């Protein structure tokens, strides 16, 4: 398999820090770590990416009159606190 060589420029400082930290914690080179996370990010790696979104909560709302009342109370401005 033919391999390509890349040069990355303008790597943000935070990304550099995170990549170096991950490489150190996994005992790999920065190059090996960068290839690994690129493969995972593109969906061709050997790991399933961990998502931290809120999709699991979609459609899970349960009507609760007590919660509705509490939320209405939060919408009330306490004029004494703002004068």
Domain ranges of the chain: 1-48
Q: Please tell me the pTM assigned to this model.
A: 0.54
With 70 as the cut, is the pLDDT of residue 6 above it?
Answer: yes
Tokens matching residue 60: 């899970």
- Cα separation, 3 vs 20, whole angstroms: 23
For the chain, percent of residues with pLDDT exceeding 90: 55
Q: How far apart are CA 15 and CA 40, in angstroms?
A: 16
- Max distance between CA atoms of the chain, in angstroms, equals 73
Report CA torsion sign: 1, 36, 31, 24.
negative
pLDDT for the residue numbered 2: 87
- Distance separating alpha carbons of residues 21 and 18, to the nearest angstrom: 5
Tokens of 32: 């090996």
């Amino acid at each position: 398999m033919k391999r390509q060589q890349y040069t990355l420029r303008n790597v943000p400082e935070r990304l550099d820090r995170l990549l170096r930290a991950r490489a150190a914690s996994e005992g790999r080179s920065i190059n090996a770590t960068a290839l690994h996370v690129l493969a995972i990010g593109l969906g061709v790696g050997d790991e399933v990416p961990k998502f931290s979104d809120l999709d699991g909560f979609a459609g899970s709302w349960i009507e609760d009159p007590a919660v509705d009342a509490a939320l209405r109370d939060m919408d009330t401005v306490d004029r004494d606190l703002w004068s």
